[in-house]
Amino acid sequence: MISNEGQIEKAKIGIVGLGWIAQVFHLPILSKLSDVDITCVCDVDKTRARALAEKYGIKRYYTDYNEMLIKEELHAVDICTSTDVHKEVSIACLESKRDVFVEKPIARKLEEAIAIADAVKKNKRKLMVGMNHRFRPDTMMLRSFIENKELGKVFYAKAGWLKKPSSEGTWFSQKEMSGGGVILDMGIVMLDLALWMTGYPEVSGVKASNYSHKTKVEDSSVAFLALKNGSTITIEVSWNFHIENELYYCNIYGEQGSGKINPLMIHKEMHGNIVNVTPVKTDTSQNALKKSYENELKHFIGSVRGMHNVISTAQEAVQRMQIIDAIYRSSLKGKEITFK
């Protein structure tokens, strides 16, 4: 149904891939939105597809996404599969003239990301890559301070996500499916956060070291990014740090102030003093993750309905993958990779 202004009143969505991320976040959130109709779901596991369709009152389920695309009237498809099939599913949806939401990372490697971005352009569709950390209440608040020049010119950003060793075996640590290790799981998230916070500046060089202690893929990585505007970004991520508690942070340093998230703290120089200017009311970190997925999926649905442009585009994902590619090459060669 389309309103008089040419906006879709209710977006018809199909969800492909019904694993953890779909069950914990996508299905519960999308099923509660009044402007969404989850028309169908699709998973290679028929029992799982049937059970989740029944649980959420979804009329039809499929085991083949191509059959779904032929038979269903859909405005968009939400792709929550493992990364190895992102390229083929995304391109099939775009070719069938559907908008696409695809969970991060967009693909296993740069060439796959470029192929998806080319399909977006060719078919004139919208594609959004899941970068939910942009949609945390604390990150959105800090970014508004940076955008309004409250901290002055940013010269340094550092972001990290460090986890304790875990015995959980997931497809994330199988290179054929994931494309890599912790860099493509958590590193890409922190890289995007630091770049997005600082206005996606151009990168001039990347120097990185990757470590594989317990897995065949890298389980720890440290990267140093030199930017063309003279500022610097460092990223550190690990599945294998022997620490008491998980550490998740993004700190921004400007010439007139600084800010950090988790929890949100903003300080700036005023009349020669360092003053705490943190807004009093911000969501607690426990609620921040769920809220980030809610905000992100609402944004995507709004863009499908024609209310605004999509953010976290395929083109940005290609830029991210170019940097990720440079991180891997830098570690392999033991030297800095420069960008022309």
Residue 48 has pLDDT above 60, yes or no: yes
Cβ atoms of 98 and 75 within 8 Å: the answer is yes
pLDDT at 3: 47
Identify the CATH number of the domain in which residue 56 sits: 3.40.50.720
In a domain, 5, yes or no: no
Quick one: pLDDT band at residue 73, thresholds 50, 70, 90? very high
In a domain, 4, yes or no: no
Residue 24 has pLDDT above 60, yes or no: yes
Assign residue 284 a region (left: φ > 0; alpha: ψ between -120 and 50; beta: otherwise): beta
Residue 30 has pLDDT above 50, yes or no: yes
In a domain, 65, yes or no: yes
In a domain, 211, yes or no: yes
The three-point CA angle 178-128-88 to 5° equals 50
Beta bridge partners of 159: 235, 250
Question: Residue 92 and residue 182: Cα distance in Å, rounded?
Answer: 28
In a domain, 3, yes or no: no
Residue 170 has pLDDT above 50, yes or no: yes
Residue 5 has pLDDT above 60, yes or no: no
Q: Are residues 167 and 223 in the same domain?
A: yes
Question: Residue 15 and residue 79: Cα distance in Å, rounded?
Answer: 6
Residue 148 has pLDDT above 90, yes or no: yes
Q: pTM value?
A: 0.94
Identify the CATH number of the domain in which residue 277 sits: 3.30.360.10
Arithmetic mean of pLDDT over the chain = 94
Q: Are residues 75 and 104 in the same domain?
A: yes
In a domain, 1, yes or no: no
Those residues with Cβ within 8 angstroms of residue 91's Cβ, 6 or more apart along the chain or in another chain: 115, 116, 119
Weakest mean pLDDT among 15-29, 156-170, 179-193: 156-170
Residue 4 has pLDDT above 60, yes or no: no
DSSP H helices, 148-268, are 175-178, 182, 188-197
Closest alpha carbon to 219 in 233, 234, 237, 202: 237
Q: Are residues 74 and 176 in the same domain?
A: no
Mean pLDDT, range 143-149, rounded to an integer: 96
pLDDT at 166: 74
Q: Are residues 139 and 127 in the same domain?
A: no
In a domain, 152, yes or no: yes
Q: Are residues 116 and 190 in the same domain?
A: no
Domain count, the chain: 2
Q: Are residues 184 and 332 in the same domain?
A: yes
> Percentage of the chain with pLDDT > 90?
88
* pLDDT (tens digit per residue) in 82-136: 999 999 999 999 999 999 999 999 999 999 999 999 999 999 999 999 999 999 9
Q: Are residues 24 and 92 in the same domain?
A: yes
Question: Residue 214 and residue 290: Cα distance in Å, rounded?
Answer: 30
Mean pLDDT, range 59-77, rounded to an integer: 98
Domain range for 98: 11-133+296-313
Count of CB atoms situated within 10 Å of the CB of 284: 10
Quick one: pLDDT band at residue 6, thresholds 50, 70, 90? low
β pairing state of 220-227 and 232-238? antiparallel
Q: Are residues 308 and 161 in the same domain?
A: no
Q: Are residues 149 and 192 in the same domain?
A: yes
In a domain, 150, yes or no: yes
Q: Are residues 309 and 334 in the same domain?
A: no
Q: Are residues 148 and 248 in the same domain?
A: yes
Backbone φ and ψ for 60, nearest 5 degrees, come out as -130, 150
* pLDDT (tens digit per residue) in 276-334: 999 987 656 668 889 999 999 999 999 999 999 999 999 999 999 999 999 999 999 99
Q: Are residues 183 and 141 in the same domain?
A: yes
pLDDT at 171: 58
